[in-house]
Amino acid sequence: MTFPKSLWAAAAGLTAAAVVVRRRLQARPADPAAPDRWLTVTINCEPGEVQPEKLPSPLSEYGERIETRIRPAPGDRGTELAVRPTQPQPTTAHSVPARLTGDDPRQDLRRALREAKALLEAGEVLQPDTPPTTRETPGGKLVGLLSRRARGEGVL
């Protein structure tokens, strides 16, 4: 038995929506008044090479609006660089629609953290030469939506 393409596209859309909802529910802090959680990356360099006063430009532009934590990564595997906003964010900014439309303020901080990691490790931020090619089919629209979301979140 074969299924029509539109049924496969609908199933893929429902699966993607379920993943977003599951991640949202898992990321919800127990206390709504609690500060935002730390966003962390592991950088392939010695802990002494990363200085809080000399962070790369994507993070240094945040200034006092972020709190920074630098420590050795477990197992001598580099350095952990963690940041979080100093001011609590409104709960509506973390909603699923805000994340899908790119209005979640944490997305910019995640992007800055990834760019800082690239600058500290490679000295430059690598960008793709061409955007992904997708067709205007239901599946292609889903891939386009997930690709746009991944730029801010760092994950699909």
Please give the residue range of the domain that contains residue 77.
34-153
Average pLDDT over residues 60-86: 90
- Is 149 domain-assigned? yes
SS3 content of the chain, % helix, strand, coil (to 5): 55, 10, 35
How many helical (H) and strand (E) elements, i.e. helices and strands, does the chain have? 5, 3
Average pLDDT over residues 66-88: 89
- Is 23 domain-assigned? no
- Is 1 domain-assigned? no
Q: Vertex 107, ends 131 and 151: CA angle to 5°?
A: 15
- Is 126 domain-assigned? yes
- Is 8 domain-assigned? no
- Is 129 domain-assigned? yes
- Is 49 domain-assigned? yes
Q: Domain count for the chain, please give it.
A: 1
- Is 119 domain-assigned? yes
pTM of the model: 0.60
Q: Which pLDDT band holds residue 98 (cuts at 50, 70, 90)? A: low
